[in-house]
Amino acid sequence: MTFSKSISRRTLLRGTGAALALPWLEAMAPKSVLANTPDDVLDGKAPVRMAVLYVPNGVHPDIWNPKEEGTDFELPMAMEPLADIRHKNLVLTNLWNQHSNTGDGHYVKTGGFLTGQTINKTVGVDLNSNGISMDQLAAREVEHLTPLPSLELGTEPVHSGVDGTVGYTRVYGAHISWKTPTSPLAKEIDPKLVYQRMFRASKQGTQAAADDRLLLDKVLSGAKSLRGRLGQEDRHRMDEYLESVRTVEARLAQLEQPGHAPWRARADIEKHDAPEGIPDAHAKHVQLMMDMIVLAFQTDTTRVTSFMFGNAVSNKDFAFLDGVKGAHHSLSHHQSEEDKLKQYNLISQWHVAQYAYLLKRLDAIQEGDATLLDNSMILFGSGLKDGQSHSPRDLPILLGGRGGGKINTGQHIRYEKNTPLTNLYVSMLNAFGRETEVFSDSTGALDGVLV
């Protein structure tokens, strides 16, 4: 990312709002091509996809909680961008993440958002989320069916340093997806690399793939004997390495397997050119990442994705929004000052607008009688409510899409105070096809979500 370029681009964007609004998907390929999914691949039922969008720094209750319940409720300020797509969205209030009601204001709420567990308090040693994240449980169910088991995306590299004041490593604040309690999943933040990764993963049966396998097999056999020579403590790391190599190997093996029903892209990924690296404008960056999610789901490169708008405590400068002059985390400590609140709220609304953008993109893609959105579930939320108080009660939670017709969208449901957020995870996992009775502190499925 170069700076001088950013200024000119910024100027350009200021001048022509249109440049920003033109989505990569449309700029790169006409919509008719995108919708042109091969018929034979569409035989049978379209798969269910799941994405989680995580927002740092919470939202203010005044602009979030709708007054009315049911289908006929007035959209609060933050949700205004959902007006056109509200019938495919669920607003769920009064859910809380009880195991994150401890520790500090941000890291516990972020690292534990999808696990429903309490992270170990540490600047490094014994890093542990004490749970597998909900998205990764879903991924386990279907990872053998697609080239990539899941995609973890974001916009910010993990912040450097440890937070000595609260006593947590910032690694916690940069990861919501946990493959195992001790293995967070690193995010990709460059849309170009995401695209290239999907592109390569979808390549089949080439000589390059055969060569890769040869290399990986060699490495795996050597590494196994090395593992035996390591001390007890170190084997865990070596296992992560082996798992990491095996994942690639397994994919290549699957693609090569003679007689194996080959994975087929549901849409042609090669219709697109790779996006340019990380744009300087945050809005453009986020939109490209949304486009990557659309592409991943549409092509069936993966069925599970998580995305972090920013890391915990993100101080992303939102001066690019009209009416905002400042950074996200600072403004979230609004001290109820009207001026700061107004800016904090505009930032929250902007995040919902990006979510709405994703929903609409997905909804524009036809899959048989339904749309891609109808076959997806998109969780949007934060691990805390008001950025001033950091409470994990009455969390801001939206669920978009119908999960393959299983989700009862178009309403606002207000639950009993302190209903576990993990009840929603139970419902989502079941809708996704992974039978689940209990998840962390859940007390059952969430009433009213499933059809």
Partner 1 sequence: MPSRLAIVLFAVVSCFAVSSLCAEEGVTRLHGLLAGHCNDCHQGNDAEAHLDMTKYNSVESVASSRDMWVKIRQRIETNEMPPEDGEPFSAEDRQWVLDWIDNSLRSTACGDGPQPGPSPLRRLNKNEYRATIRDLLKIHVDIGAELPEDGAGGSGFDNAAETLFLSPIHGEKYLDAAKAAISYAQRNQGSRDLILVRQPGDKSTEEEAAHDVLQRFATRAFRRPASEDEVEDLMRLYRQRMESGSSWDDSVFFTLQVVLISPDFLFRIEQPNLEEEPRLVSDHEMATRLSYFLWGTTPDRKLMHAADEGKLTDADSLREETIRLLKDGQSRGLAENFVGQWLGTRELGRQSQPDRELFKRYNQQMQDSFQEEPLLLFHEIFKNNESLLNLIDADYTFANDELARHYGIRDKLTENISQRMIKVKLPEDTVRGGILTMSGPLTVSSFPNRTSPVLRGKWLLENILGIVPPPPPPDVPELSEEGEDVAGKSVRERLQIHRDNPSCASCHNTIDPVGFGLENFDAIGRWREEDNGTKVDSAGKLPGGEAFTNPKELKQAVLRQKEKFVTLLTEKMLSYALGRGLVPSDYCAVEEITQRLAAHDYQTHQLVLGIVESVPFRYKASQAAPPTTDDSTVRSE
CA-based nearest residue to 144, from 291, 292, 261: 261
Count of residues of this chain found to bind partner 1 when the rule CB under 8 A is applied? 91
Q: Are strands 89-96 and 370-371 parallel, antiparallel or unpaired?
A: unpaired
CB closer to partner 1, 340 vs 360: 340
**For residue 331, which amino acid is it?**
L
Window 295 to 314, contacts with partner 1 (CB under 8 A): 314
Task: Provide the 3-class DSSP secondary structure of residue 342.
Answer: helix
How wide is the angle at C-alpha 308 spanned by C-alphas 323 and 437, nearest 5°? 130
Tokens of 223: 């590494």
Give the Å distances, CA to CA, from 59 to 65, 176, 324.
Answer: 10, 18, 15
Window 71 to 110, contacts with partner 1 (CB under 8 A): 104-105
Residue 159 binds partner 1, judged by CB under 8 A: yes
Helix (H) or strand (E) holding 380: strand 376-381
CB closer to partner 1, 168 vs 415: 168
Query: What are the residues facing 152 on neighbouring strands?
Result: 306
Residue 246 binds partner 1, judged by CB under 8 A: yes
Window 103 to 132, contacts with partner 1 (CB under 8 A): 104-105, 120-128, 130
Residue 233 binds partner 1, judged by CB under 8 A: yes
Residue 315 binds partner 1, judged by CB under 8 A: yes
Tokens of 393: 């009660």
In the list 46, 79, 91, 158, the residue contacting partner 1 (rule: CB under 8 A) is 158
Helix (H) or strand (E) holding 404: none
- Minimum CB–partner distance for residue 201 and partner 1 (Å): 8
In the list 337, 438, 443, 444, the residue contacting partner 1 (rule: CB under 8 A) is 337
- Residue spans of alpha helices (H) in 328-378: 328-332, 338-363
Terminal C-alpha separation, the chain? 46
Window 388 to 417, contacts with partner 1 (CB under 8 A): 388-391
Percent helix, percent strand, percent coil in the chain, to nearest 5:
45, 15, 45
Tokens of 374: 């109808």
CB closer to partner 1, 17 vs 259: 17
Residue 254 binds partner 1, judged by CB under 8 A: no
Residue 385 binds partner 1, judged by CB under 8 A: no
CB closer to partner 1, 51 vs 252: 252
Distance CA(154)–CA(175), nearest Å, equals: 9
Which stretch, 213-221, 346-354, 364-372, 425-433, contacts partner 1 (CB under 8 A)? 213-221
CB closer to partner 1, 192 vs 271: 192
Distance CA(394)–CA(386), nearest Å, equals: 10
Cα–chain-centroid distance for residue 68?
29
Window 136 to 155, contacts with partner 1 (CB under 8 A): 149, 152
Distance CA(111)–CA(181), nearest Å, equals: 10
Cα–chain-centroid distance for residue 277?
19
Which stretch, 241-249, 346-354, 396-404, 421-429, contacts partner 1 (CB under 8 A)? 241-249
- Under a CB-based contact definition with an 8 Å cutoff, are residues 108 and 96 in contact? no
CB closer to partner 1, 17 vs 231: 231
In the list 32, 39, 228, 232, the residue contacting partner 1 (rule: CB under 8 A) is 232
Window 180 to 199, contacts with partner 1 (CB under 8 A): 181-190, 193, 197
Contact string 4-43 vs partner 1 (x = CB under 8 A): x--x--x---------------------------------
- Minimum CB–partner distance for residue 95 and partner 1 (Å): 20
Distance CA(416)–CA(394), nearest Å, equals: 10
Residue 226 binds partner 1, judged by CB under 8 A: yes
Window 353 to 372, contacts with partner 1 (CB under 8 A): none
Residue 245 binds partner 1, judged by CB under 8 A: yes
